[in-house]
Structure 1
Amino acid sequence: MSLRTKRIKELFGYARTLTREEGVGTMLRRAGGFFRRRLGGRRARYLPGKAALEQERGDPAAAQYPIISILTPLYNTPEPFLKEFIDSICAQTAPNWQLCLADASDAAHAAVGAYARRRAAAEPRIRYCKIENQGIAANTNAAARLATGTYLALADHDDQLAPHAVYCMGRRLAETGADFAYSDEALFRKTPASAHVAHFKPDYAPEYLMACNYICHLAVFRRSLFDAVGGERPECDGAQDHDLFLRMIDEMQRRDPGAAPLHVPQVLYYWRVHAGSTSGGNEAKPYVASAALRAVQDHLDATGRKGKAEPGKFPGTCHVQWELPDPVPLVSILIPNKDHVQDLEQCLFSLYSKTFYERFEVIVIENNSTDPATAAYYKTLPQRYDNCRVVEYNGSFNFSRINNFGRKFANGKFLLLLNNDIEILDGDWLTQMVAEAGQPGVAACGAMLYYPDDTVQHAGIITGLGGYAGHSHKYHKRGGSGYMFRLATVQDFSAVTAACLLVRTAAYDAVGGLDEEFTVAFNDVDFCLRLRRKGWRIVWTPYAELRHHESKSRGSDEKDAAKKARFAGEQARLYEIHGRETILRDPYYNPSLSLDYEDFRESADLRSLKNVEL
């Protein structure tokens, strides 16, 4: 069957399921959106329809939304760019905005100020001042002194706001009382209508934010919060917004440890791509990288976290090398095994010969092996590998029960669940995982797993993919940065695979270990979701690299009736325990991204952007 034929078959299957679960009307609306996308082109695809925008303009509630003062430093701005920027503000569907322009242009560009003054004279919501150029942070602070709004927003002089930006932000801020909110954004070269790509972001992800400034535009925050941290810092020019966001979040969490920025999953900002803009890459402003490292390091120092900010795998990213306690904690490595001596030997040999982290014990959990050679092999392990022993599990196969059994013999502060067909590639892998899992609020850490052909097998689990759960960037070539650096940065996920999962032993015990009703599938997803329900976070690191000798073509359980029924039962149990909506709305995956693919492509209909309800 060709890929095209398979895809058509999948689409018809999806239509049948959607009709059964949500009715013919919903299915037809989704189908209409799909065909409009395919046949009607991609123009203005990130905007709500004209009717929705007009409805916003007529909404009387908008007059009660908080005033948002937009801070924009000007510096030698090309007049066409400035005109388009100001026009985008004046075209907002809600009236609750103020534009604060601080002009640091040089004498050769006096036309910038002349044009801005003309616009300010015609529109009282535009405020203008002329200043000396002292850098982007100081110039932004000058714009803030013009502001009278309850909230402030940051916008560059050559970009544009979506027409519903102020309405959407104002509405959500009024509904939630949030101190800090951010939206998605898109990049354009000529006009926002022809924007070529969007940055669809996750909800607040603290580890990801330390690795890179994914929040970026549009960010809106209380004036009082901005003032409390002293505004932007000139010493972080180039990464001044990243620094500001980290400091404001620190201040929010000082007041309330559970506080977090609000994500508004709408494209509300259009970022112009041209030679001098960082939207086209940090090569345009090479000082950005060093400024970002300073911002992250200052955040670590201010919060008392013991780590050093270092350059990440790609320009524009950071990696924190955490300081481990002395002595380092003991890690108990649990490896279920049934025969497969060759796989187990490869796993153990690579573990002991390559791992830099020395304080670990290995517990091989024997699971009903039938080959006499396996028992003979087990007898050699204690002599060949230090702190390695075999314990015997005698029940029927149940992955969850086997690991729970092995935990009884573990003495470590951390447990590492490890498949017997894993091969260690990088000696620093366990050091990195222990460092991440040991951070405040983190319960578990997952690793980067590759197939034998060096394509990605696991880079974190996203719930909702395929209706239940799938692996981020599966089959992506090794060495890439992924979507918005998400294949190359330490970050937060809803779940990670139990093929290599490090967890605090206390956290494992607090949730009762793995749920033994999940015999084979989804036990790791359920386990991580239960940890998160207890208030813990799950992280994944690309700095722990391993090879998983699982075949890409191992086949599915579809042809085995008993296995198919078991899998369907475990799917149903996942929904039953956690709720269908919880599974389908992963906070670390944007609703405008596809649930049908694992490569972060856009949804076929972008319905979360089109169906903006008042």
Structure 2
Amino acid sequence: SSDLSDEDKIDQKGIRNSPYFKPDWSPELLSNGNYITHFCVYKNNVIEELKGFRGDYSGSQDYDLVLRATDKERKIEHISKILYGWRQILGSAALSTSSKPYAYNVAITALEDKIKRNGYDGKVQQITDTFFYRTKYEYGNPTVSIIMPVLEDLEILKKCILSIKKNTTHKSYEIIIVDHLHKKKELESILGNNCTIIKFDEKYQNSKVYNSGARVANGEYLLFLDPNLEIITNNWIESMLEVGFISKVGAVGCLLFNNNGQIYHAGKILGLDGICSNALEGRKHDNMYFGIANAIRNCSAVSGKCIMIKKNVFDSIDGWDENLFQYFNDVDLCLRIYESGYRVAYTPYVKLQKQNQITDDFSNEIDQRKLFIKKWKHVLEKPDPYYNENLSHVNGGYFLTSSPPLPRLMTLLLEVYYERIDLQTQFPEVAEGDYSNLLKWVINEGIINDSYMVTLAPFDKDFEILLQKYSQ
């Protein structure tokens, strides 16, 4: 019943600039700020039902309208083209965020109205020098169960535990350590209160370890945490709860940094670097692409290195898939949360940093990739709804690109290509955008005879369609 589009700005010389390629409908991003802005098409009966703009909301009347229109579940379509140009004239917020200071107060009132209409208690604050807002909900004192595996280096685990205790002000929480290394005595000496150690006798598999911890958890929320991380923000549990508490949010992830200070994770993007990768990885934490790293927003998936999930949602989807024990198990978990009717969100207000740069074990990668692609073929062949196809699909994303987006299957194939020196040598023309010979090779022998390429087997017949497209 409503349509939104991408937009740009037009300066006083008529020059177009600052193209904003938006995600599809994102409820959490809308609560963070008016990303839809001034151009939105509504059905007439919706406007009649809402009685149009409200006079007391001048300055943010369009934001108030869309907040009221989305109180009900409505079909909201996104046209991924720039259909609107916001003129940067004197006195316009398009030229300066300080042009209409009164508009921010009106927006806060509109947001707090929506919170009350939805049956919540909460206060909204503006984030200084931005168009963003943050809602502090009243959610009581639910118990949060922090579930962690053991590492060989107990000093790393100790630092993680100390950072939890230093930065946790939420009163009701427990720490569950899943001990597959049988180091109970050493663990007891460093853990202290609020910690439970459970024995795990099987061979270490991330998904099984997390599931075993979840089975003994007492919390209404489960917080799965990689012990190679340190918490670097206060009130971190509260900041995750203020998003995870929302009824339709099933899981929430956070902002992770490498130990060199660069971003490691700010949400995940389907199709990025092939199958799925971390948004903004390797970038500095600054005000990049409309402040996207600093915006509460929906994502198709978030990292399992620090993820909070409602216990009832986790149980309803049968927890972590133990067949995906090493690669893409967090993406799989999030996609199943979506399929169960809940959303996944990212918050920038919780920050953690890696302690060490641990090298991943790639021994099971091919089998895990194959299983994941087969399971989620119907999702991977479509664009990520929370990432605009007009933006780049490499190197952390959120770069503008003049190239048309590649079909999803082609990005999966190119991920394999750029990891294989032999394929780059055999088909150098791929670098110039000529994919026909590579596709012929895949169709004739690649998938059948190549141990790595076999991960794309679920798409076997689709390659012939691609070849027709790129041979024209």
TM exceeding 0.5: yes
1:507 positional shift: 1.0
Preserved CA contact (<8 Å) 2:151 2:157 = no
* Aligned with residue 318 of structure 2, among 512, 523, 530: 512
Count of equivalent residues:
407
Are the structure 2 counterparts of residues 271 and 468 from structure 1 closer, same or farther at C-alpha, using a change threshold of 3 Å?
A: same
The question of 1:421 aligning with 2:262 is answered no
- 1:598 and 2:405 aligned: no
Is the aligned partner of 1:266 residue 2:81?
A: yes
2:5 to 183, 187, 192: 183
Is this contact kept in 1: 2:38–2:62, CA < 8 A?
Answer: no
Distance in 2 of aligned mates of 1:288 and 1:454:
35
Contact kept in structure 2, 1:314 and 1:488, CA below 8 Å: no
Deviation at 1:423, TM superposition (A): 1.1
Amino acid at match of 2:336: R
Mark the CA change 1:359 to 1:452 in structure 2 (over 3 Å): closer, same or farther. Answer: same
**Aligned-partner Cα distance in 1 for 2:206–2:405:** 39
* Residue 569 (structure 1) aligned with residue 367 (structure 2): yes
Q: Percent same amino acid among aligned pairs?
A: 27
2:25 matches 1:219:
no
For residues 354 and 190 of structure 1, do their structure 2 counterparts lie closer, same or farther at Cα, with a shift above 3 Å needed?
closer
Alpha-carbon distance in 2 for matches of 1:417, 1:502: 6
Pick closer, same or farther for the CA change 1:206–1:550 going to 2, 3 Å.
Answer: farther
User: Quick check: 2:321–2:333 contact (8 Å CA) kept in 1?
Assistant: yes
Task: Determine helix, strand or coil for the equivalent of 2:294.
Answer: coil
Residues 1:493 and 1:605: Cα distance change in structure 2 (over 3 Å) = same
Structure 1 unmatched runs, 5+: 1-178, 558-562
Instruction: Indicate the structure with greater helix content.
Output: 1
Q: Identify which of 411, 416, 426 aligns with 2:218.
A: 411
Residue equivalent to 1:319: 134
**Match for residue 354 of structure 1 among 167, 181, 193:** 167
Whether 1:345 aligns to 2:158 is: yes
Q: Which residue of 2 aligns with 1:124?
A: none
Over 3 Å counting, the alpha-carbon distance change for 1:191 and 1:275 in structure 2 is closer
Q: Choose from 474, 491, 494 the match for 2:297.
A: 491
Measured against aligned partners, the alpha-carbon deviations of 1:290-328 in whole angstroms (never above 9, x if no partner) come to 121111111112222221111125421110001112xx1
Give the corresponding residue for 1:135: none
* Structure 1 residue 571, shift from structure 2 partner: 2.0
Q: Does 1:532 align with 2:338?
A: yes
Residue 588 of structure 1 aligns with which residue? Answer: 386
Q: Residues 354 and 569 from structure 1, CA distance in 2 versus in 1: closer, same or farther, beyond 3 angstroms?
A: same
Q: Is the CA contact 1:243–1:295 (under 8 Å) kept in the aligned structure 2?
A: yes
Deviation at 1:273, TM superposition (A): 2.5
Partner residue, 1:391: 198
Q: Is the CA contact 1:204–1:263 (under 8 Å) kept in the aligned structure 2?
A: yes
C-alpha contact 2:167 2:236 (8 A) present in aligned 1: no
CA contact (8 A) 2:281 2:395 kept: no
- Corresponding residue number in structure 2 for 1:154: none
> Quick check: 1:282–1:288 contact (8 Å CA) kept in 2?
no
1:378 counterpart letter in structure 2? L
Partner Cα separation in structure 1 for residue 106 and residue 306 of structure 2 = 35
Choose which of 462, 465, 469 in structure 1 pairs with 2:276: 469
Write out the 4+ residue segments of structure 1 that deviate beyond 4 Å after TM superposition: 554-557
What SS does structure 1 have at the residue aligned with 2:98?
helix
Tell me if the contact between 1:204 and 1:260 (Cα under 8 Å) persists in the aligned partners.
no
Task: Give the C-alpha shift of residue 437 in structure 1.
Answer: 1.2
Contact 1:416 1:501 (C-alpha < 8 Å) held by counterparts: yes
Deviations 1:191-243 (A, max 9, x none): 77x53331111111111101111012431111221122121122221111111
Counterpart selection for 2:148 from 318, 327, 335: 335
Partners of 2:7 and 2:320 in 1: how far apart?
39
Cross-structure match for 1:85:
none
Q: CA RMSD in A?
A: 2.1
Question: Which residue of 209, 213, 216 corresponds with 1:402?
Answer: 209
> Counterpart of 2:377?
579
What is the Cα deviation at residue 182 of structure 1? 0.8
Output the TM-score relative to the length of structure 1: 0.63
Q: What does the per-residue CA deviation read over 1:494-548, in whole Å, with 9 as the maximum and x for residues that have no partner?
A: 1111111111111111111111111211000000000100101111111112222
Secondary structure, aligned partner of 1:283? coil
Equivalent residue number for residue 380 of structure 1: 189
**Greater Rg, structure 1 or structure 2?**
1
Letter paired with 1:297: E
Q: Distance in 2 between matches of 1:191 and 1:228?
A: 40
Give 1:368's match in structure 2, choosing from 156, 170, 181.
181
Q: Distance in 1 between matches of 2:93 and 2:233?
A: 33
Amino acid at match of 1:196: N
Residue 556 of structure 1 deviates from its aligned partner by: 6.1
1:339–1:607 CA distance, 2 compared to 1 (3 A): closer
Structure 2 counterpart of 1:587, one-letter code: P
What is the CA–CA distance in structure 2 between the aligned matches of 1:267 and 1:520, rounded to whole Å? Answer: 40
How many angstroms apart in 2 are the aligned matches of 1:481 and 1:233? 33
Residue of structure 1 equivalent to 2:95? 280
